[in-house]
Amino acid sequence: MIDKSGLAVWIDDAAALTEEGWSGSADAWAALVGARDAARAVADDKGATQDEVDAAADLLAGAIDADTVKPEATLAAPTTAGPFSSLDLQVDATDDRGLSQIVANVYKGDTLIASTQSEIADGALSGSHAANVPLPDGAYTLRYNAHDVGGNVSATGTFEFTIDATAPTATVKEGSEFTVATGQTYDRVSFKLHDAGKIDKVELNGVVKDLSNNNWSDINFVAPGVFGAVQGANTLIVYDVAGNTQTVTFTLN
Ligand SMILES: [Ca+2]
Ligand SMILES: [Ca+2]
Ligand SMILES: [Ca+2]
């Protein structure tokens, strides 16, 4: 005697489900419809064996029990809008059943500039995707999400940031009140500093002088004993807010 009672229960359960009410992926719904129709055929087949009945019931049960819960993706980095000399990103994700992929794409306006992703092995319940993306100077939008093994996709998060990959400039200021040159060396020297992404600070022979963050700045009246300056060779490193540097060497008398 073939027992089809278990199969009948799963068919009833499947009949109660509608595509409109289905919160899972389209692929999972298609699999459910296929399993449901196959189960009905087996139920109607008077010649079906118990193995065929049990297999149809298992297939339908698995399709009904599909993963219908979306993963969640969160942006771990960046945490500020920059500017950065390049993009260091990290997206963390979790899922109730298992992740398959985490994606982070960089857009300029509506144009995709760079796509990065990590495959998550073995359906791990949590995962992380990190990437470094070199980009030209400008304003960008990061869009990121996570996919689970059931084909569900998390909400897509967005984050605006700017890139400044251009080093600042340092120009010797003219005028004897600022700069006194004797050939290739100086009694004293002053610099005009500029950066489109704003000057942050200078470092003179390892001595850091923080400057208010502005596009234009100055480092004036550098002479031995001032700001870490010494007689002989000096090294001035100018930093912008993004961390790009310009190194200037000069000799003081
Ligand atoms: Ca899921
Ligand atoms: Ca810059
Ligand atoms: Ca500063």
pTM, two decimals, is 0.80
Nearest ligand to the C-alpha atom of residue 200 = 3
Structure tokens at 71: 């993963």
Q: Sketch the domain layout of the chain as residue ranges.
A: 5-64, 72-163, 169-252
Close Cβ partners of 226 (under 8 Å, ≥ 6 residues apart):
none
Report the distance separating Cα 179 and Cα 220, nearest Å. 9
Residue 170 has pLDDT above 90, yes or no: yes
Instruction: Render pLDDT for 86-138 as a digit per residue (tens, 0 to 9).
Output: 999 999 999 999 999 999 999 999 999 999 999 999 999 999 999 999 999 99
Residue 1's pLDDT is 85
Residue 24's pLDDT is 85
Determine the average pLDDT of the residues in 164-180: 97
Centre of ligand 2 from the C-alpha of residue 8, in Å: 69
Residue 25 has pLDDT above 90, yes or no: no
Q: Print burial letters for 114-127: b (CB count within 10 Å at least 16), e (below 16).
A: bebbbebeeeeeeb
Q: Do domains 72-163 and 169-252 have the same CATH topology?
A: yes
Centre of ligand 2 from the C-alpha of residue 149, in Å: 42
Which CATH code, of 3.30.1150.10, 3.40.50.2000, 2.60.40.10, 2.60.40.2550, is assigned to 72-163? 2.60.40.2550
Centre of ligand 3 from the C-alpha of residue 249, in Å: 21
Residue range 169-252 forms a domain whose CATH class is mainly beta
Centre of ligand 1 from the C-alpha of residue 17, in Å: 19
Determine the average pLDDT of the residues in 42-59: 96
Residue 137's pLDDT is 97
pLDDT category of residue 78 using cuts at 50, 70 and 90? very high
CA 219 to chain centre: 37
Residue 243 has pLDDT above 90, yes or no: yes
Centre of ligand 2 from the C-alpha of residue 88, in Å: 17
Nearest 10 degrees: Cα torsion 119, 123, 126, 129: 0
pLDDT category of residue 23 using cuts at 50, 70 and 90? confident
| Helices and strands, counts by H and E, the chain | 3, 13
Residue 153's pLDDT is 95
Centre of ligand 1 from the C-alpha of residue 24, in Å: 9
Centre of ligand 1 from the C-alpha of residue 31, in Å: 16
26: helix, strand or coil:
helix
**Which one-letter DSSP state was computed for residue 167?**
P
Nearest ligand to the C-alpha atom of residue 154 = 1
Provide, rounded to the nearest whole percent, the portion of the chain with pLDDT above 70: 100
